[in-house]
Structure 1
Amino acid sequence: MRRTLVAVALAALVATAGCAAFGGGDTDTDAVPTDDVVEPSDPAANATGVNQSIRLSVGDSVAGSEWTSLSVEYPRENFTVESAQHENVSLGVDTDGDGELDEQFNETHISGVNNNAYSFTVELDTGYTLASGDVVVVEYPAVNNPAEPGNYTVSVTLNDEQTTNATVIVE
């Protein structure tokens, strides 16, 4: 009987310790989101000239290389991307995950801003070496939202090597 009681107590202790390791119970509302996102400043359907904020975590495939470009491709039948002047594009890097830009760049670091009807690419000469865990942040000011509300998948590419999908929510 005593061995059974010890075995049950040990099993309960191990199970409880295992559950405590999961972060699901954390309710810290000040936590900084780490998801890769493309977020419009105006999520309304048919909004024009919308500023798009792109946050992309640097992965191992581009870590150690200079930040040279960021491209975003929207569903061609839904979004319209217009041209933007260098000085209207904002750039930065959050190096410590606190949601604040630790490195900032201006129009002198942009060698080109190219677009077509459904995508844009910002070519850069930053001199900044990307580190795994960095979050690059770009704000592009000239995207027209689709007429229909919904969730739209966009493709974001960093340095022509790291590509991920993100969702734009249009209301």
Structure 2
Amino acid sequence: MSPSIEVIRADITALGEHVDVIVNAANSGLLGGGGVDGAIHRRGGPEILAACRELRRTTLPDGLPAGSAVATTAGGLDADWVVHTVGPVWAKTIDKSETLVSCYRECLRVCDELGAASVAFPTISAGIYGWPMADATRVAVETVRATPTQAERVLLVAFNEAAEQGYGAALG
């Protein structure tokens, strides 16, 4: 099944409506950081950090590899779960696009395991990881469209005008 895809310009931690899953563009340590990751940890509260620490203590002692995804509680966010994924750092000389594609596929796979009907994605790797916005938004749209999922609704959350325009162009 192909989900409906919507683009909204918003703070992913304060969408103004409940979604089943909010995706976190995390770092491999899973213990918070800057950008989306820091905002999710701050707004979601200590439950998210505690769940991430437990993952590090048990199943992910070396951290979450780039392109993978894992779920935790959403804490105080208006969602049931947070699905954490680690995007690749953009490099002009090394093609890491398959890792970025994997982030979206793996998040949708985890969403399906959770039975999630709705998921909100940030623009993975387009912030501090330096991925060019037009390409990051194109990869997001193409991957969501091409990945079979049980999710009925995917929100692509644009944090700025460039992301919003990139998603608009990619959706056609």
Please report the TM-score for the alignment, with normalisation by the length of structure 1: 0.25
Please report the TM-score for the alignment, with normalisation by the length of structure 2: 0.25
Q: Looking at CA atoms only, which structure, 1 or 2, has the larger radius of gyration?
A: 1
Normalized per residue, the structure richer in strand is 1
Normalized per residue, the structure richer in helix is 2
